[in-house]
Amino acid sequence: MLLQGIAASPGYAIGVAKVLSAKAVHIVKRQLADSQLDEETGRFDAAIAATRVELEVIHGKLVAQQKEPEAEIFEAHLMLLEDEELVDRSKERVREERINAEYAFFTTSEEIAEMISALDDPYLKERAADIRDVSRRVINHLQGISSEPLNDVTGKIILFAEDLTPSDTAQLDPSKVVAFATQAGGRTSHSAIIARSIGIPAIVGIGGSLENAVKDGQTVIIDGTNGKVIIEPDEASLARYSQLQQEQHEHAQYYQTYLNQPSVSRDGVQVELVANIGSVKDAEQAAKAGAEGIGLFRTEFLYMDAPELPSEETQFEAYRKAAEAIGSKSPIVIRTSDIGGDKEIPYMKLPKEDNPFLGFRAIRICLDRPEMFKTQLRAILRASAFGNLKIMFPMIAALNEWRQAKSLLEEVKGELREAGISFNPSIEVGIMIEIPAAAILADKFAKEVDFFSIGTNDLVQYTMAADRMNPKLGYLNDPLHPAVLQLIERVISAAHANGKWVGMCGEMAGQKHALPILLGLGLDEFSMSASAILPARALLAKLSQQEMKQVAQAVLELGSAEEVKAYVEEHVQELK
């Protein structure tokens, strides 16, 4: 059987399906005799203790991997095991109602979860999910089922899930999970971005009902390059994909030869190939993957899933360590927090919105909460004494937003100076161009900022009026659309006319059909998933910027993304 989804992370994998089921656990009520009650409460205590050990192990692993925000999720789960309302109350019910522990615990946790999720408070809704998560683990122990869905599977696993949350992805072990496919999501949703950063093939937005389509243990092929899932493939498909995997392996070895090479075109034009990261660990991986710097540090990952706003110290440490990991001379662009949209921060208690991508997001929140914003700016400025940091504001739509953000930055600089704390006084400050209004007025912004970075993930969704998370709209979410290309051309020209450099940190920067056009348009810095850097450097080495200028001018005149792609395929021989 063949399922078609959105190609989220390229490559091929052959493995065994593991379906992460979202089904509710099945709990039966059993009435107990008085003589059984001691044993039942003992069984319950043992399940709580085993869950604690399990959570401590996961927590320890995440701390060792420096995945602090993810580790904090499990800290919160550990705290729930101490909760009187949940744990002590369940135990009382075993005795009072003479019932089995799983039923007592399940009903108690459901009652609490339902009560708090009825309160219409996004923060408490998240806590309800935590309670259910912990409840599932404890009940699994009571029923003798492994909570770690991947522990009981050997071989190469291909994970199928409705969607993968940051906590799921935090636990993905790329040595076991060779690929994944999700029902939800689009090319620029988090699960897709994370798959590209760890370099495993992935498909998102396959829709339909997973449980009817694929079963645990079935052999599956994931073609992440073309967005295809093949379930129980025939011999011919297996042979073809084994061959493709072999070629992929040979390509990877070939790309390694570009590891320590400069990023330069065939006609000698040097650009910067840098990485997008969300953590210190990503910075270390980016350095190993040949990145010359960091073009986007998505700092909101430090805020997500943490139990509260990260302190100045926590942030300072993260920025300093990331700068040191990539090399203190290499550029590292720290984007101030881009909270909102698809990135919910439960503890911030932001009002629920009908259109979160068009709502209270990123710089709009920061300007509304200057104390939170200034804490982050202080942390970045302090870290600027330890590396080549640059600051970037996301989601700028209006000149006033930029000016207000800049003046808060100046205020913080003044405070640091007064306190005698060192920082780089001439730190570069730029903005993301991801809203069409900013792209259209790029000439005005270019007079005031130090640099631009084009965020095509959002620029495309706002230009095409197509939610980037909606799998049905994948056909509109294409950065090769000439309307988007014309905006990009306008932004690059405006920056250069004002003597400023311009980068791109949207996923487009790492796409092979886009690279020739972007080189031709004169983009200075390309920021992408770490795994895309060496293939991009290898392609760049074959291209001539002079020739690509003509390609770029030609595609700007076309009428659709399909025509642009076809034109590039026909006229850029080096892609073959």
Interface residue list for Mg ion (CB under 5 A): 434, 455, 458
Question: Is residue 457 close enough to count as binding ligand PEP by CB under 6 A?
Answer: yes
The three-class DSSP label of residue 309 is: coil
**Residue pointed to by tokens 């392996």:** 249
366 is catalytic: no
Question: Per-residue string for binding with ligand PEP, 493-532, x by CB under 6 A?
Answer: ------------xx--------------------------
Q: Is 278 in the site for ligand PEP (CB under 6 A)?
A: no
Residue 188 interacts with which of ligand PEP, Mg ion, none, CB < 5 to 8 Å by class = ligand PEP
Residue 361 interaction partner, one of ligand PEP, Mg ion, none, beta carbon < 5-8 Å per kind:
none
> Is-contact 368 409, C-beta < 8 A?
no
* Nearest distance in Å: CB 180, ligand PEP: 19
121 or 163: CB nearest ligand PEP: 163
What's the min distance (Å) between Cβ of 435 and ligand PEP? Answer: 10
Structure token pair of residue 538: 């290898």
Contacts of 413 (CB under 8 A, 6+ apart): 381, 423, 425
Beta-strand ranges (E) seen in 78-187 are: 157-161, 177-182
Instruction: Tell me if 537 contacts ligand PEP by CB under 6 A.
Output: no
Identify residues 295-334 at the interface with ligand PEP (CB under 6 A).
296, 298
| Set 77, 190, 481, 513: catalytic member | 190
Taking CB under 6 A as the binding criterion, the range among 118-126, 166-174, 455-463, 472-480 that sits at the site for ligand PEP is: 455-463
| Six token digits for residue 21 | 């089921």
Q: Which two three-digit tokens encode residue 332?
A: 């590292």
197 binds ligand PEP (CB under 6 A): no
**Residues 490, 501 contacting (CB under 8 angstroms):** no
Q: Are 425 and 391 in contact (CB under 8 A)?
A: no
505 carries an active-site annotation: yes
192/203 with CB nearer ligand PEP = 192
Nearer residue to Mg ion within complex by CB, 109 or 336: 336
Q: Which amino acid is at 468?
A: R
Q: Is the Cβ–Cβ distance between 468 and 185 less than 8 Å?
A: no
Is 481 a binding residue for ligand PEP by CB under 6 A? The answer is no
Whole-angstrom Cα distance, residue 565 to residue 99? 65
570: its two tokens: 């026909």
336 belongs to the binding site for ligand PEP (CB under 6 A): no
Residue (70 or 434) nearer to ligand PEP, CB? 434
Q: Tell me the two tokens of residue 113.
A: 């979860």
Q: What are the distances in angstroms from CA 326 to CA 275, 284, 302, 382, 541? A: 10, 6, 18, 17, 23
Cα separation, 108 vs 103, whole angstroms: 8
Q: How far is the CB of 188 from ligand PEP (least distance, A)?
A: 6
Q: How far is the CB of 402 from ligand PEP (least distance, A)?
A: 17
Chain residues in the site for ligand PEP (CB under 6 A): 188, 296, 298, 338, 434, 455-458, 505-506
Catalytic residues: 190, 505
